[in-house]
Structure 1
Amino acid sequence: MASQGTNDPSVQEYYTSAESRLGYAVLLGNARHCGFWPKGTWWPFPIGRAQRVMEEKLYQRLDLPKDSLVLDAGAGSGLVAAYMAKQGLRVHAIDLTPLHVEQATNNIESWGLSDRVSVQLGDYHDLSGFEDDSFDGIYTMETFVHADDPVKVLRNFYRLLRPGGVLVLHEADFHWDSEVLQEVLRLSHCQNTLKEGSYEEMLGEVGFGHTTIDDMTDNVLPLWRLFGIIGAVPYEILKLCGQQHRFINIMAGVEAYRNWGQGRYISVRATKPKGPG
């Protein structure tokens, strides 16, 4: 993982920028994650329906009984936690951005799910407030990519899971080499860039077993194609003015689409062994 510079934007700065707040609200229904489309899809609308499909994919990957307790590590606006609760899980949701905690709390209350979902400010780098073996499952939906110390985070998850517990990570797995793409990752605080095979290696190092990876790259392409198309002209204008770095989501959408194939979108599932170790 590239080291973070002192002038690099924080996760909070990225998500609370005017561009991020407007973009997530207008294009993604205030969700913070991709949708799932059948391979070969060109028309991405309605995006919200595809996002619910992605949430269902995550729920299926957890494969936990009703009333299991799960940790949502990076709750955003609470949409994923709400979906899990509606499927019968109990959810404790954390996020390190106060704006997200406020939004998630208000959403969960307005949807009448406060008896199934709790929300609090929290950072997955420090989960000392939770007891060992306290969750049946833990998941991230495009938030593990922001980890400054991914192995430390995985060790925290391992400690919190009960024996036989399940970890599911839905994440972009970048391996961008060009300077402009590295700049995109830096500005969006996504410097947890892992080479192919790194997830299996790290999870094994921490102690997880039975790791499986589903490649969903083709299934998220319709959304990134949309970003690449609608952002192309504004991006070129911004580049002419030297202002592209101030609009990181436009920059990321266009560059990701133009360099499609230099990364994956994957669902990682691993379990904590039931026996010793």
Structure 2
Amino acid sequence: MANQTTPQRRFPLRYIATFLALLASVIIGLVASNGNASPSVQEYYGSSESRFGYWLLLGNTRHCGLYRKGQLSPFPISTAHRAMEQKLYTRLELSPGSKVLDAGAGSGYVAIYMAQKGLNVQAIDITPHHIADARKNIKKHKLEDKVSVEYGDYHDLSSFPDESFDGIYTMETFVHADDPVKVLRNFYRLLKPGGALVLHEADFSRNTGTLQDVLRLSHCQNTLEEGGYQELTEKVGFKDFSLEDLTDEVLPMWRLFGVLGYLPYQLFRILGIQDRFINVMAGVEAWLNWGDGRYISVRVLKP
């Protein structure tokens, strides 16, 4: 009598597909922002999408990397981050022992780099988990004697006396200002005569509805049109304006964002939920419309 084998039961593919769809729905629901049409800075950086994305892709560093012109690969990203921090340090043109204000410290990596170069850094931020992260990272690098991190809003720097700093910088945080002129006046007051202000920020040459959606949802409403930084800084009294266009040197990172986010972004658009994934939206739209904006390093001096 022939041996009879029990046929193997296949797990229906529809069950697998349903499970994956449900899992994807749960992940999307957990990661998506709360849908606030005009989020605050704290809401933007506190959203699950922002926190997860910065951790996964950038190791909790919150700024662009700097690459060689023409480079295709965005890796290693940490090397590019350090190169951007070196660029900012070079633009400050300060000697070791100088005191600087980091106006928007994020997780503290820029302040750490500046301290390792010999600068004394007073760092401020308005987002509680940024402050906690920065303090932890500074302690890990044993730089508590070189870097201090406090809660602070650059719209109100009254706790610091006049001419407190040899230099002030922002690394992609001035775009969040609600009143940019007031912020620049605060910076001007705090700088010693001859002190340098360096802003690593973005501007744009072509305005669109999509761009304004991205800026609103990421609370970057202070992103200026080309020429705006010179106009504002000179209005406040700064002199010796200089600008370096670093757009081509940050492209590898934004290309990575665009490629990784392209398919999810198109799906989100079909579902009408693209506004709840602002970092995906910003990454893809910046890549698709490359050339409509710039990444710039602005340097001015207080006379």
Match of 1:240 in 2: 270
3-state SS, counterpart of residue 123 of structure 2: strand
SS of 2:225's equivalent?
Answer: coil
Tell me the CA shift for residue 161 of structure 1. 0.2
Distance 1:268 1:259 in 2: 23
Cα shift at 1:176: 4.4
- Displacement after TM superposition at 1:198 (Å): 1.3
The partner residue of 2:196 within 166, 179, 204 is: 166
Matches of 2:260 and 2:74 in 1, distance apart?
13
State the AA in 2 paired with 1:243.
Answer: I
**Structure 2 counterpart of 1:128, which letter?**
S
Residue from 99, 111, 128 that aligns with 2:158: 128
Q: Give the number of the structure with larger relative contact order, counting CA–CA contacts within 8 Å between residues 6 or more apart.
A: 1
Q: Secondary structure at the match of 1:170?
A: strand
Q: What CA distance in whole angstroms lies between the structure 2 residues aligned with 1:140 and 1:225? A: 24
Aligned residue in 2 for 1:100: 130
Task: Give per-residue Cα distances to partners, 1:30-59, cap 9 Å, x unaligned.
Answer: 100000001111111011100100000000
Query: Which of residues 46, 53, 63 is equivalent to 2:83?
Result: 53
- Whole-Å separation in 2 of the counterparts to 1:179 and 1:196: 17
C-alpha separation between the residues in 2 aligned to 1:85 and 1:197? Answer: 32
- Distance in 2, matches of 1:175 and 1:194, equals 9
Contact 1:175–1:193 (CA under 8 A) maintained in structure 2? no
RMSD, aligned CA: 1.0
Alpha-carbon displacement from aligned partner over 1:14-42 (angstroms, at most 9, x marks no partner) = 00111100110111111000000011111
Whole-Å Cα distance in 2 between the matches of residues 224 and 167 of structure 1?
26
CA distance in 1 between counterparts of 2:275 and 2:235 reads 37
CA distance in 2, matches of 1:98, 1:105: 11
In structure 1, the partner of 2:13 is none
The partner residue of 1:261 within 271, 291, 299 is 291
TM-score, normalised on structure 1? 0.95
Max Rg structure: 2
The TM-score with structure 2 as length reference comes to: 0.87
Residue 29 of structure 1 pairs with residue 29 of structure 2? no
* Larger displacement relative to structure 2 (62-71 or 191-200): 191-200
Please, which moves more after superposition, 67-76 or 195-204? 195-204
In the alignment, structure 1 segments of 5+ residues that lack a partner are 1-5
Match of 2:221 in 1: 191
Q: Displacement, 1:76?
A: 0.1
Deviation (angstroms), 1:140: 0.2
- Unaligned segments of structure 2, at least 5 residues: 1-35
CA contact (8 A) 2:37 2:217 kept: no
**Identical positions, percent:** 65
Q: Which amino acid aligns with 1:123?
A: D
1: CA distance, partners of 2:39 / 2:205: 21
Does the CA contact (< 8 Å) of 2:202 and 2:224 recur in 1? no
The answer (yes or no) to whether the contact 1:175–1:194 under 8 Å persists in 2 is: no
Q: Which amino acid aligns with 2:76?
A: P
1:143 aligns with 2:173: yes
- Aligned partner of residue 63 in structure 2, secondary structure: coil
Which residue in 2 is equivalent to 1:64? 94
Distance 1:200 1:7 in 2: 30
Superposition deviation, residue 172 in structure 1 = 1.3
Count of matched residue positions in the alignment of Structure 1 and Structure 2: 268
Residue in structure 2 matched with residue 43 of structure 1 by the alignment: 73
Runs in 1 of length 4+ with deviation above 6 angstroms? none
**Does the aligned pair in 1 maintain the 2:66–2:250 contact within 8 Å?**
yes
> For residues 133 and 175 of structure 1, what CA distance do their matches in structure 2 show?
35
Please tell me the residue identity of whatever aligns with 2:88.
Answer: L
Q: CA deviation at 1:87?
A: 0.3
Deviation digits for residues 176-232 of structure 1, max 9, x if unmatched?
422122101100001112121111111111111111000000000111111111100
- What do residues 144-198 of structure 1 show as CA deviations (whole Å, max 9, x unaligned)? 0111111110000000000011100000113442212210110000111212111
Equivalent residue for 1:3? none
Work out which of the residue numbers 174, 191, 209 in structure 2 matches 1:179. 209
Q: Secondary structure at the match of 1:231?
A: helix
CA 1:185–1:175: 2 relative to 1, 3 Å: farther
